Structure 1
Amino acid sequence: MTVKDLNTKTPPVFDIFISGAGIAGLTLALNLANIGLSVVIIDPVEDTSFPQTIGTRTCAIMTSLLPTLEATGVLPDIMDECSWLEKMHIVDMAGTKPPKDITFDAQELDTHAFALNIPNDVFRGALLKRALRHPNLTCFFGDMLADFKTTPALLDIQHDSGQISRARLLIGADGYNSRIRKVAQIEAKPFDYGQTAHTCRLKHTKPHHNISTETYYKDGPFTLVPLADNTCSLVWLERHENADKTMRLTREDFVTRLQTNSRNILGRIELIEGPTSVPLRGMVAEKLVAPRCALIAEAAHAYSPVGAQGLNTSLRDIEVLVSSIKNYAQTGLDIGSETLLKTYEDKRLSDIHRRFNIVNNFGQAVSTHSDLVKALRAGAMSALKDSRFLRKLAMQTGYTGAA
């Protein structure tokens, strides 16, 4: 249901108001609407048309978190563009000579794949399509949250357009510069990675065999992630000064760089979409809640793409929040209560901070120019390659969050 203006003197009361219609916001909205709650979602982007291209950015969603996506109903709509990640092959070209390498196989964790790689634009488009026709969802596009006031039982929410809504719980999924985080006066700790991420979509002559290949160069990782058929997405991190030079290359010279960096493991490479580039910036909120408000996803945390923790951490936020709201709603309790919000924060805040520190430390370790760190990195890779126990421990920590 799309509503541009509800011309009523008394604003209707909704169960949940979500600011931000990205992948995380829409996933949360559909999960909540599907359990019978009335949900509003608002986003400043007015265009609701389905994307005409697959795009250059993807998200590798861990298999343990797929039930949260399955609950939205969109997976059957997008599977043709996705690929399972069954193995991860890591090669360290910036460390000791000869280069160290290691392969992680999902079968060692008794699962068929680590993750499902999904194109972001296709994913959001499918979520948006379902949201627009869901009877429990009211969508305001081309509008945004301007301010809100908390009362004992409800929130009065003012839109930028002047529209007023009321809700029992307000959720910020409105990204790095979250308006909700600012109004709620929740402080956030920023982090500058000093790197730019190039992304593009490639076609290649050799099959990828559902193997994600991550090659460490002096500036950072060059990661080829499988997509449908003989295509893949590339995430390539470089220091800002070198990234600027790369983006000034001609298309032909850029493809030549890709061919060299790929070490020809996928045969001849063809550039389908991109490149696009974005400076990397991290952030972690000091709190996740305020009275009748909760933060999720990049309103609460932003990570480097190293380790693929970003959207996966967002889905963990959603998983916990939906479970808590569902339990309260089914028993007739207040879904915006301080107790519910404290439970959410207690379950998520320490994990978010822990992953933020791990991602930052790991990102620095694979992008360093220090000979000592390179030697330590080589030693760690050798130990993991030689020990099934250590390899399995590393995989459990990285992909399930539990050692």
Structure 2
Amino acid sequence: MDHYDIVIIGAGLAGSLAAIALARDGHRVALVGPRPVIADGRTTALMDQSIEYLKALDLWDGVAPLTAPLVAIHIIDATKRLLRAPPVNFRAAEVGLKAFGYNIPNAPFLGILEKREASLPTIDRLTASATTLDFGALEVRVGLEDGRTITADLVVGADGRRSAVRGAAEIDVFTWSYPQTAVVLNFSHELPHQEVSTEFHTESGPFTQVPLPGDRSSLVWVQKPRDAEETLRLPPDLLSRTIEYRMESILGKVKVEGVPQSFPLSGMTARRFGKGRVMLVGEAAHAFPPIGAQGLNLSLRDVMTLVELLGPATGARLPADTGDRFDRRRRIDIVSRTASVDLLNRSLLSGFLPVQAIRAVGLQLLSSAGPLRGLLMREGIHPGSALRSLKESLREKIGRKSA
């Protein structure tokens, strides 16, 4: 029976990145999970902090050719409501960056991670599904569908919203749903995007264009479920014209590529993010609408925390309370990000006039107040940096007054 330091169940982006990061520190890792049957047509916008981590993992050189930088983000209030916000423009140069981050297609990104896994001698890639988990005093026993059994000091659940690891560890979840479906697709366009992402806020949710290499972009179009069904039934030429119209022709003529995919929107957060010998990362721990490029960036911070917590391999058994310590370390970040995304999404859906007023005033402040906009951008790129910057600014002012 094979024994590992860590078994990671779930071989998507979050699980694969965790396996690579832990293996680089010398831990013996089993990455368990079948390969996807259907290629993921979505893209992921990774912010500057996440890109720096990919560089630290020696992954960036392989990923970079797939990506397009995000040098600016434009938010346009496309609602027909009485109280509408002015356009807001965020530019990376305002916070001293060449780009906020980079947009990466998920399917080829996962392919690059799989190649890297194969090159690391301390990763065993097991494509069978995990069927049983037994938590003992000294180790975790994992049964696989092919009849094998493996053991490990720790288990990482990276197996998505319906996480079997989370269920086996008896960790409850808090879930909620939205009357929304996200339609995702890629398209080519006549005019260059100039590395700018444009987000149209509508009554049903955001309609967000994100640059891809060349004159191509990805789209996340959040709609009411019935409207999304009608969108998916549109012939390609009519769908292309509809998207061009929705984008106010800012990119000229549009041509949809491939077949659109759709995903019902809901939210979920685990009551605990770790327990005993179990840690939850990615959508096994938290899930929310695709707003503000928070999903995989938050998952990567799960991975960073896990790697920092465990440190380099020493040959000793990994502590049985690692999950409890991981839970304490991740709680504030996950809860605050989940709440902020939920609030932003609900503010778009609300027909309550005071809520619309608060949202419009908030965006007005961001549009006109440079320092506030800078703080928000820094917080989005490097969580916690806005608060640190504010503290340092206050200390400087107090210091000058007392001098």
Tell me, yes or no, whether TM beats 0.5.
yes
TM-score (normalised: structure 2): 0.91
Partner of 2:8: 18
Q: Which residue pairs with 2:326 in the alignment?
A: 344
**Aligned pair partner of 2:102 in 116, 134, 151:** 116
The aligned counterpart of 2:115 is 129
Q: Find the aligned partners of 2:26 and 2:85 in 1 and give their Cα distance.
A: 55
The whole-number CA distance in structure 2 between the counterparts of 1:89 and 1:22 is 30
Letter in 2 for 1:344: F
**1:267-322 alpha-carbon deviations (Å, 9 max, x no partner):** 11111123111111210000112221111111111111011111111000000001
Letter in 1 for 2:302: D
> For 2:337 and 2:24, how far apart are their aligned partners in 1?
30
Change in 2 beyond 3 A, CA 1:395/1:382: same
CA gap 1:39/1:284 in 2 versus in 1, 3 angstroms: same
AA matched with 2:94? E
The number of residues matched between the two structures is 384
What's the offset of the Cα at 1:333?
Answer: 5.2
Task: State the alpha-carbon separation in 2 of the partners of residues 304 and 121 from structure 1.
Answer: 20
- Which residue identity is paired with 2:343? N
Matched, 1:45 2:35: yes
Matching residue within 372, 379, 391 for 2:354? 372
Query: What amino acid sits opposite 2:63 in the alignment?
Result: I
Equivalence for 2:25: 35
- AA at the equivalent of 1:113: A
- Aligned counterparts, 1:4-403, within 5 A: 11-45=1-35, 56-94=41-79, 95-96=81-82, 100-141=86-127, 143-326=128-311, 329-330=313-314, 334-338=317-321, 340-402=322-384, 403=386
Deviation at 1:121, TM superposition (A): 0.6
Cα distance in 2, alignment partners of residues 27 and 163 from structure 1: 24
Equivalents in 2 of 1:192, 1:310: separation in Å? 17
Q: Mean Cα displacement is larger for which, 72-81 or 29-38? A: 72-81
| Displacement of 1:46 | 7.0
Q: How has the CA–CA distance of structure 1 residues 304 and 121 changed in structure 2, closer, same or farther, with 3 Å as cutoff? A: same
Aligned position for 1:7: none
Structure 1 residue 67 displacement after superposition:
3.1
Deviations 1:85-107 (A, max 9, x none): 11100100104477620101111
In structure 1, distance between residues paired with 2:120 and 2:101 = 28
Q: Is the 8 A contact 2:85 2:364 kept in 1?
A: no
Question: What is the percentage of aligned positions where both structures have the same residue?
Answer: 32
> How much does 1:373 deviate?
2.7
Q: Which moved more, 1:180-189 or 1:39-48?
A: 39-48
In 1, the alpha carbon distance for the partners of 2:131 and 2:318 equals: 23
- Which has the larger share of helix? 2
Residue 37 of structure 1 and its aligned partner are, at CA, apart by 1.4
Aligned-partner residue type, residue 320 of structure 2: S
Report the alpha carbon displacement of residue 69 of structure 1 after superposing the two structures with TM.
2.0
Deviation at residue 78 of structure 1 after TM alignment: 2.5
Structure 1 CA distance for aligned equivalents of residues 336 and 175 of structure 2: 15
**8 A contact 2:85–2:361 mirrored in 1:** no
| Equivalent position SS for 2:349 | coil
RMSD: 1.9
Q: What secondary structure does 2:25 align onto? A: coil
Whole-angstrom distance in 2 between the partners of 1:108 and 1:393: 10
8 Å contact 2:187–2:216 — kept in the other structure? Answer: yes
Alpha-carbon separation, structure 2, partners of 1:99 and 1:155 = 53
Q: Is the 8 A contact 1:200 1:274 kept in 2?
A: yes
Question: What letter is aligned with 1:38?
Answer: R
Q: Distance in 1 between matches of 2:371 and 2:91?
A: 13
C-alpha distance in 2, partners of 1:343/1:97? 46
Against the structure 1 CA distance between its residues 388 and 136, is the aligned structure 2 distance closer, same or farther, given a 3 Å change threshold? same
When residues 176 and 337 of structure 1 are mapped into structure 2, their CA distance, relative to the original with a 3 A threshold, is same
> 1:326 offset after TM fit, Å?
1.4
Q: Is the 8 A contact 1:221 1:367 kept in 2?
A: no
| One-letter identity of the residue aligned with 2:303 | I
Per the TM alignment, residue 241 of structure 1 is displaced from its structure 2 partner at its CA by 2.2
User: What is the CA-CA distance between 1:62 and the residue it aligns to?
Assistant: 1.0
Deviations along 1:107-138, one digit per CA (max 9) or x if unpaired, are 11122211111111111111012213321111
- What's the secondary structure of 1:366's corresponding residue? helix
Q: Distance in 2 between matches of 1:46 and 1:269?
A: 30
Q: What is the CA distance between 1:139 and its match in structure 2? A: 1.0
Distance 2:242 2:352 in 1: 24
C-alpha deviation, 1:203, in angstroms: 0.6
Q: Secondary structure at the match of 2:11?
A: coil
TM superposition score normalised by structure 1:
0.91
> 2:76·2:88 contact (CA, 8 Å) conserved in 1?
yes
Contact map agreement 1:17 1:41 (CA 8 A) in 2: yes
Gaps of 5+ in 2: 387-403
Partner amino acid, structure 2, of 1:129: K
1:161 Cα deviation from its structure 2 partner: 2.0
State the alpha-carbon separation in 1 of the partners of residues 299 and 84 from structure 2.
38
Judge conservation of contact 1:215–1:223 (CA < 8 Å) in 2. yes
Match for 2:318: what amino acid? Answer: I
